[in-house]
Structure 1
């Protein structure tokens, strides 16, 4: 049984790594009461997990195969386990902030190593299916955590929640260590520094990274603060967790469905631009005018935002293998994309919290900010699929 499903454990590792990010949003109101953290500190807790990716994703993407893909995944899961255990016994905001940084390194090790390992241990005829499952790790993992955490809080408190997710990541780390052998490492035909320099000089790689950056922070900002928004509207913590979990899981559905549409021949540029239009409309309507809308309409708006945002994630990762300086630079290019994703997710939640704090709890300017980012993403998308960029890419591969 294990022999036929080794890649499933790697996919599980991605989902569980994302659960460590998703465990926090439902706990924010509890931490505000028990540890007296401010709304701005809550934003930092949401974003600091992206600190490692913000600084080192490109570097990690260049080195993980050389270090050993399985080793990096197991190490990442153990960092998540250790930081979560220590977090469960922490009683200071500064300690929790530091441990979120450590969790960020664990998350980065898993997410930069897993796609390459899946490609190595999966049969060629199964690779599209398995990579489709992998691409849903963020929305799916966060969704599961957002769904479970409010109910776990009832029985074990937030410290118990941290221990529960530590147990899960430790278990998966053990299974991967036992069941999956370390694949042979390929000899590097290009020096690491030259590989990074090659990627940084390749404008299509920058466009991919910038496009993903305009989206990733928006999605985390939306999902991360939804439980708080719902609580302000007298919705119970448990119901808020369920509603937010469905929003997060819809992102994974959007990612999978976009993969189907791409396979059927629909243009990536068309799908991405459509997705950004939906994001702009939903952000303005939800954040700027939500006080005038019935709750069901508000919920449809955030659900649509997450669902069609999944299109952008699916297209970025499907196109990353085509917009590289050289085929050997695929992992490095994905590292650059993840780095900009982390920068966006690190910056935007505190910015949102700051805007709301100085605007008397008004979310109007958050909607304007979100719509502006989506507009910028549409411009970058147009540039990525412009004939001049496509010709540049063709020439780079031929050389």
Structure 2
């Protein structure tokens, strides 16, 4: 096997690990009705179980990101995959609601370790000329992994049980763990001499890192909330559950396709600033039409708007993750910078759906939700102009 093929395979192992980690996020929605019937899970408990996996990222992403750099990227990926594997097996064996919550929290920390370490490890393994495309593939982990789970989990549940889903995904995760342990070398970059406090302080004082995190935050909550309302669309239009699952998965996978296309465009010389702004402009158009005319639009047009929103949202996600490698204050602070991005993302995904529900219940209409999401996208565009304007100014000063 040539050296080029070996490096390519190593890249795909890390990217595949990201997809496997995201599959654990997407496995739960299809199992909620079964868990309610078999374990007596209440509606409130179901909502908390769905959201509690975000708690680790929402509270500890920056802190854990600094430890990732200290402990070693490969070790942290392996630790994250180990936590996902063990927690998924234990949850599949349990018949206790309390144990399900505990294992879901552990899965949250495992997911966070993998997604914090992945970008920096890909940077170490990938030749610089193919890095944008590989980061585009990496940024597809959430949409792609959730899409795979949304397709496969209902089939496994229908044929066997929800426990089989947990065991199957644990096996997939463990397979990537073995592959990475065996084939991936430990990166040469070391941060042993950098105090954790200095690493965190360096990142928190770096304005581009904050801008990247805030830009991604304005997008992530919108995507999570809009996709979350898909079951409402299906119910209103009397769509069969099997078809509804496939349609939801296709929307999630569209986001992965968008991020991959973004990576290819970046590699071909397209400017990240223009891709991010294009993404936000399409988000404004799709979200505005969807929310402001939600009850009068035919189903196919509603679905096309959500699909387009997810597809072009991938331009934002792919560009931001790619730029995190360039805008980190120091190569040693890449994981901490990604941690800041993920922390803003988790906070946005945690806060925006209930905020949208509050707006709808208070006003009795979806129109103002379109106004709120459009405003978030406008803020994202302004922050993007600020980020790349700041870089341009610094470049002029240096010359």
Q: TM-score, normalised by structure 2?
A: 0.88
Inter-partner Cα distance in structure 2 for 1:299 and 1:84: 33
Cα separation, 2, equivalents of 1:146 and 1:82: 21
Preserved contact between residue 11 and residue 126 of structure 2 (Cα < 8 Å): yes
**CA distance in 2 between partners of 1:79 and 1:238 (Å):** 31
Answer yes or no: is 1:157 the counterpart of 2:161. Answer: yes
Q: Which moved more, 1:191-200 or 1:340-349?
A: 340-349
Is the contact between residue 359 and residue 369 of structure 2 (CA under 8 Å) also seen in structure 1? yes
For structure 2, the residue ranges without an aligned partner over 5 or more in a row are none
CA distance in 2, matches of 1:111, 1:167: 19
Find the residue that maps to 2:186 and give its secondary structure: coil
CA contact (8 A) 1:25 1:227 kept: no
Task: Tell me whether 1:68 sits opposite 2:72 in the alignment.
Answer: yes
The aligned residue for residue 278 of structure 1 is 282
Deviation at 1:13, TM superposition (A): 0.5
1:18 aligns with 2:22: yes
Aligned CA distance change for structure 1 residues 170 and 232 (closer, same or farther; 3 Å): farther
1:91-102 → structure 2 map (5 Å cutoff)? 91-102=95-106
Cα deviations across residues 131-155 of structure 1 (Å, max 9, x unaligned)? 3322211111111111112212211
Whether the aligned pair in 2 keeps the contact of 1:25 and 1:225 (CA below 8 Å) is: no
Distance 2:19 2:112 in 1: 13
> Which whole-Å CA distance do the structure 2 matches of 1:39 and 1:298 have between them?
27
The change in CA–CA distance for 1:202 and 1:271 in structure 2 (over 3 A counts) is same
8 Å CA contact 2:136–2:322 kept in 1: the answer is no
Change (3 A) 1:8 1:242: same
Residue aligning to 2:190: 186
Residues 47 and 347 in structure 1, CA contact (< 8 A), matched pair in contact too: no
Partner of 1:380: 383
Match of 1:127 among 121, 128, 131: 131
Equivalent residue number for residue 391 of structure 1: 393
Specify the SS of the correspondent of 1:50. helix
Q: CA deviation at 1:28?
A: 3.5
Cα distance in structure 2, aligned partners of 1:363 and 1:20: 31
1:178 alignment partner, SS class:
helix
Matches within 5 A, 1:27-176: 27-35=31-39, 37=41, 39-176=43-180
**Aligned match of 2:251 in 243, 247, 256?**
247
Q: Which residue of 2 aligns with 1:6?
A: 10
Q: Contact 1:217 / 1:348 at 8 angstroms: preserved in 2?
A: yes
Q: 1:303 to 1:277 in 2, by over 3 A?
A: same
Is 1:210 paired with 2:217? no
Q: Which moved more, 1:162-171 or 1:10-19?
A: 162-171
Shift of 1:206: 0.8
User: Counterparts in 2 of 1:280-299, with a 5 A limit?
Assistant: 280-299=284-303
Where does residue 333 of structure 1 map in the other structure? 337
User: For the residues of structure 1 that align with 2:286 and 2:45, how far apart are their CA atoms?
Assistant: 27
- Deviation string 1:39-69 (CA, Å, 9 cap, x unpaired) is 5544433322121111221122222133122
For structure 1, the 5+ residue unaligned runs are: none
Deviation larger for 276-285 or 365-374: 365-374
The structure-2 alpha-carbon separation of the partners of 1:160 and 1:345, relative to structure 1 and needing over 3 Å to count, comes to same
Q: Please, what is the CA RMSD of the aligned residues?
A: 2.9
Query: Number of paired residues?
Result: 395
Alpha carbons of structure 1 residues 48 and 325: separation in structure 2 relative to 1, 3 Å: same
Do 1:323 and 1:393's aligned partners in 2 also have CA atoms closer than 8 Å? Answer: no
Separation in structure 1 between the aligned mates of residue 163 and residue 230 of structure 2, nearest angstrom: 22
The alignment status of 1:262 with 2:266, answered yes or no, reads yes
The structure-2 alpha-carbon separation of the partners of 1:129 and 1:80, relative to structure 1 and needing over 3 Å to count, comes to same
Counterpart CA distance in 2 for 1:302 and 1:346 is: 20
- Choose which of 199, 213, 219 in structure 2 pairs with 1:195: 199
Q: 1:188 to 1:55 in 2, by over 3 A?
A: same
Say whether 1:370 aligns with 2:368: no
Question: For residues 78 and 328 of structure 1, what CA distance do their matches in structure 2 show?
Answer: 24
